[in-house]
Structure 1
Amino acid sequence: MQYISTRGQVPPVDFSTAVAHGLAPDGGLYLPETLPDLKPKLADWADLSYPQLCDAFFSLFATDLDRAELSAMIERSYQNFDHAEIAPVRKLSDSLYVLELFHGPTLAFKDFALQLLGNFYEAQIARTGKPISVLGATSGDTGAAAIHGLLGKKGVRTFILYPDGRISPLQERQMTCTGADNVFPLAIKGSFDDAQAAMKTVFEDREFADEIGLSAVNSINLARILAQCVYYLYSFYRLPAALREQTTFVVPTGNFGNVLAGWLLQRMGVPIKGFRVATNQNDILHRLFQTGTYALGDVAPSVAPSMDIQVASNFERFIYYAEGCDPDKVRAIMQTFKSSGQYTFENFDPGTFSSSRTDDAGIASIISEVYRKYSYVVDPHTACGFTDLPEGPNLILATAHPAKFPDTIAEALSVDSTHPSLEALKAKEVVKHFVEPTPEAIKAFMREHKQA
């Protein structure tokens, strides 16, 4: 299996190279040269455990890795989840289900990919003998999951940009209270979009990337997306057989990576009915699917901070397929968006996508209503998924544990939502570094703190 850039200006690479680079050298995002057809495999995979299913799936993509080594990495990646099923499906009613993706080490869906990516990086360092510097940007959960996926990995230095004061205090503590001397949480003044834009510019400097051994943990890294495909397939099998092909997957999303994973799986032949993109008040994706125009707006801080995003970095992968896999069109569209802040698609067809928007008041109301109706506590991001549900069965992806957002939960409910791992952080020292959200400042910091 080879991997190509959405912008089409670099040669295809193997899986390990795509993972190591993260961002393609031409500024595009990697995708498989061809997507496999999973239809002939669906019956055989139905009864596999989560690690077994992940192993079977990745064997189609990581074809340059030793098969036994790949299986061992996957097995290790899911040992620190606190539920036997890894990604359990919770039934709320005969037509409403929740996929719980918060049973990993940092209590967020990002753990599914980043525990695995950490093991991929460890194997890469063992093969090449070269240390790496991992750079990421987070609106809340990615940073903590990346850090914890890389803790204890020899030869790794981890640098995570995040908007100071715009993530929850416990999300920040998960990044800044590790006590590890090779972890650098970098607080910036500004929004997640500012951090992400600076990060992508750093990756485009290939001379610096080679100098520092730069690698990516954001969902620009294709391994993140492929790892997230697995829980869609796993949950598809755990729905009642009669409902599987009738069920809409409802996905709280800001950066488009989570829902893109499910959509790619659908393109591989898995008969998922459709996807509901659930946004908070930062609704660039909702506006796109309603109007066909992808247009920047101001980022408004919300009680669902991981979705406080306007520029969805994974949207470029969607554009590639929506425009007939034409890299020339992708480059033109991305240039138009970069220069004008918007792009209107001709004859836009949302396909199996629909969308919804929920503001802060709506989130609080939903948290209260879901608890009253189902005795179930949802975090503020998952709450967005309950807005204007489509007809028929729905499966809502629960993206984070409610204990990560205690203030929001306490305002909506008279319920104490805590988790032991989060409570333990409150007594630890916060260590963070302040940098300007510019490529020059970030590169200077990384050079100063790179691996000896």
Structure 2
Amino acid sequence: MLYLSTRGHPDRKRFCEILLEGLAPDGGLYMPEHYPQVSDATLARWREVYLQQGYADLAFEILSLYIDDIPADDLRALCRKTYTAEVFGTGEIVPVRHLDDPSARSGLEPVLIEALSNGPTLAFKDMAMQLLGNLFEYELARRGETLNILGATSGDTGSAAEYAMRGKQGVRVFMTSPNGRMSPFQQAQMFSLMDENIHNIAIDGVFDDCQDIVKAVSNDLEFKRQYRIGTVNSINWARLLAQVVYYFAGYIQATQTNSQKVSFAVPSGNFGNVCAGHVARMMGLPIAKLVVATNENDVLDEFFRTGVYRVRGSADTFETSSPSMDISKASNFERFVFDLLGRDAARVADLFGPQLAKAGRFDLSGDAHFADAASRYGFVSGKSTHADRLATIRTTWEQHGMVIDTHTADGLKVALEHREPGVPMIVLETALPIKFAATIEEAIGRQPERPAKFNGIEALPKRVQVMPADVAQVKALIARVCA
């Protein structure tokens, strides 16, 4: 399997090369040259693998289609090392829970919640990040090299990356986050880590400022090579690939035969989580709809409704109660547009380069390909507000005895708008409710449960540096630490 850039760079690379690289040299995102096709017989075999052998072996089956430069026995061992009950708290890894919905009697299938938040940091990002940490350590040891990871987080990516990389040989993490814009629990998870290889940088700005810094450093090829800069954000194909696995696992749990279809509703800001669903669907997983759920920062919902992709500035990015989606530049969206436009790399390079830089938007509403977003690729969308998520959290608690976090509530609210007869709707859980305790208490009048290991985390000492949104200052910090 070879990988190419969405913006047309002529190089073709293998998996372990792009694992450590992040962005392509032309600023594009890496994509596989083709999507492996999963036959009915293969899907039936994977169903048995998952049900009889477990999630780790299913992960190996899927990942091995894209990773052919790690020996099969080593890749299988890495998957089994990652996806254990000890790490994820349950042997099922991603159990699916049914919501007992009375409307099922009207012909609509019940809604299901796929639990993706059983990992060390209580968020779905652990599903990919734990594997990424093991892949990095393996490949760096094989090469005898080191890597400096530069990342950006709006909440959950940072803690998942730091918990996956802490203590790993050959790896340092420099994680940027928007100063004061994460929940107290999210901040404490990251800033309380004292490991020598973990460096937290709070940027005075919004998440998009952090993301812009990461991209600017990644596009400085000389600096990137000198300091061996890599990334764990979902612009890294390896992370997105790991997320493809739980779409197959969710499908298998929700169906009895391969003749059935399901839909997935995905809370989405950066388009990485739902892009993994797009990849699964392109491989042949029987997905009817991919439902994109946004919060008040509705850049993606606007595109799927109108064909206009319009980024917002810092002043126009709302601070919401589902803060991990407070994003107005969806990095992974370029991957989908690449497929949507028939893999026309020159056009993608223009749209995401000069057009966005000049106008802050592009318009595909008049393009013949735009209709394919729904008809061919299954995408629909919707938006959820603070009032919506409060109501959804409250209703889910009162009717089903289940407490869900704010982002999952956004996904559930929009999922209910796109149900159809005969097709189960799976909502991807984003995080455990304790990460957003203030909003949960506002919704149901009580604090959510807190895992014992996180008692008192907000009161722990913190190690973090506050900086302006200045690429040069972030580079200088990296250079000092690496000196």
Which category of TM-score, normalised to the shorter sequence, fits these structures?
over 0.9
Shift of the alpha carbon at 1:241?
2.1
Alignment of 1:428 with 2:460, yes or no, is yes
Alignment of 1:394 with 2:391, yes or no, is no
Kept in 2: contact 1:163–1:195 (CA 8 A): yes
Kept in 2: contact 1:78–1:86 (CA 8 A): yes
2:357 is matched with which residue? 338
Distance 2:37 2:258 in 1: 22
1:156 is matched with which residue? 171
Distance 1:235 1:422 in 2: 28
Kept in 1: contact 2:184–2:458 (CA 8 A): no
| One-letter amino acid of the counterpart of residue 376, structure 1 | M
Shift of the alpha carbon at 1:233?
0.4
1:308 is matched with which residue? 326
Match of 1:82 among 76, 85, 89: 89
Q: Is 137-146 or 327-336 further displaced after alignment? A: 327-336
TM-score computed with the length of structure 2 as normaliser? 0.91
Shift of the alpha carbon at 1:244?
7.3
Shift of the alpha carbon at 1:243?
9.4
Matching of residues 124-143 of structure 1 within 5 Å = 124-143=139-158
Match of 1:295 among 285, 307, 310: 310
| One-letter amino acid of the counterpart of residue 71, structure 2 | D
Kept in 2: contact 1:170–1:422 (CA 8 A): no
2:67 is matched with which residue? 62
Distance 1:84 1:124 in 2: 27
| One-letter amino acid of the counterpart of residue 73, structure 2 | A
| One-letter amino acid of the counterpart of residue 64, structure 2 | S
Against the structure 1 CA distance between its residues 288 and 257, is the aligned structure 2 distance closer, same or farther, given a 3 Å change threshold?
Answer: same
Alignment of 1:248 with 2:273, yes or no, is no
Secondary structure at the aligned position of 1:146 is classed as helix
Q: For each residue in 1:44-70, what CA deviation from the matched residue of structure 2 results, as whole angstroms up to 9, or x when unmatched?
A: 100221000001111111101111111
Distance 1:436 1:98 in 2: 39
Match of 1:408 among 439, 444, 449: 439
Secondary structure at the aligned position of 2:445 is classed as coil
Shift of the alpha carbon at 1:274?
1.1
Distance 2:230 2:199 in 1: 15
Matching of residues 40-189 of structure 1 within 5 Å = 40-47=41-48, 48=50, 49-79=54-84, 80-93=87-100, 95-189=110-204
Q: CA RMSD in A?
A: 1.3
Kept in 1: contact 2:293–2:383 (CA 8 A): yes
Number of residue equivalences: 451
Structure 1 regions of 5+ residues with no counterpart?
A: none
Secondary structure at the aligned position of 1:376 is classed as coil
Q: For each residue in 1:142-178, what CA deviation from the matched residue of structure 2 results, as whole angstroms up to 9, or x when unmatched?
A: 0000001101101211000000111111111111111
Distance 1:323 1:397 in 2: 27
Kept in 2: contact 1:248–1:276 (CA 8 A): yes
Alignment of 1:273 with 2:271, yes or no, is no
Which of structure 1's runs of 4+ aligned residues deviate more than 6 A? none
Shift of the alpha carbon at 1:123?
1.0
Against the structure 1 CA distance between its residues 168 and 244, is the aligned structure 2 distance closer, same or farther, given a 3 Å change threshold?
Answer: farther
Shift of the alpha carbon at 1:128?
1.5
Q: For each residue in 1:192-216, what CA deviation from the matched residue of structure 2 results, as whole angstroms up to 9, or x when unmatched?
A: 0011011101001111111111111
Secondary structure at the aligned position of 1:85 is classed as coil
Structure 2 regions of 5+ residues with no counterpart?
A: 101-108
Shift of the alpha carbon at 1:385?
1.3
Secondary structure at the aligned position of 1:21 is classed as coil
Kept in 2: contact 1:10–1:25 (CA 8 A): no
Shift of the alpha carbon at 1:424?
4.5
1:356 is matched with which residue? 382
Secondary structure at the aligned position of 1:90 is classed as strand
Secondary structure at the aligned position of 1:301 is classed as coil
Identity of aligned residues (%): 39
Alignment of 1:231 with 2:246, yes or no, is yes
Alignment of 1:211 with 2:237, yes or no, is no
Distance 2:75 2:161 in 1: 20
